[in-house]
Structure 1
Amino acid sequence: VIEEEKLQENCAVVGDYFLKQLASIDSPLIGDVRGKGLMIGVEFIDENGKPLPVDRVGNIFEGVK
């Protein structure tokens, strides 16, 4: 199934697109975006460039649901 439906290739294509879209977001809260395939990480930072506490990151995710 993985080979027949080309799931790995699709993951790479969709992941590259998603990564580029995330990296293009101009926000003072985003410090870095990195990943491979659909395994992507976004670093959220405060106004001093330090990582946001987990509870504040959780609030961001709750706000975009």
Structure 2
Amino acid sequence: MCRHFPSCPTADAADREAARTIAHHPEQGWSLLCNEVLLFDDTGDLLPDGSIIPPSRLVLAQAAR
């Protein structure tokens, strides 16, 4: 439960990744946010209910040759 003021966004909010980081493990590629969301370096998320938010990678168009 968040004790910050103002409160961090909940895990089901669109801006869930704006919650404060409470544990950061760059060597393992993840961070735990205050709203219990696991945020991965590849931009994927694991929500507290076990739901997965896939990575949001930009796809670059291949240059014409």
Q: Would the TM-score normalized by the shorter structure come out above 0.5?
A: no
Higher strand proportion (structure 1 or 2): 2
Higher helix proportion (structure 1 or 2): 1
Instruction: Give me the TM-score of the superposition, normalised by structure 2.
Output: 0.26
Higher relative contact order (CA 8 A, sep 6+): 1
Instruction: Give me the TM-score of the superposition, normalised by structure 1.
Output: 0.26
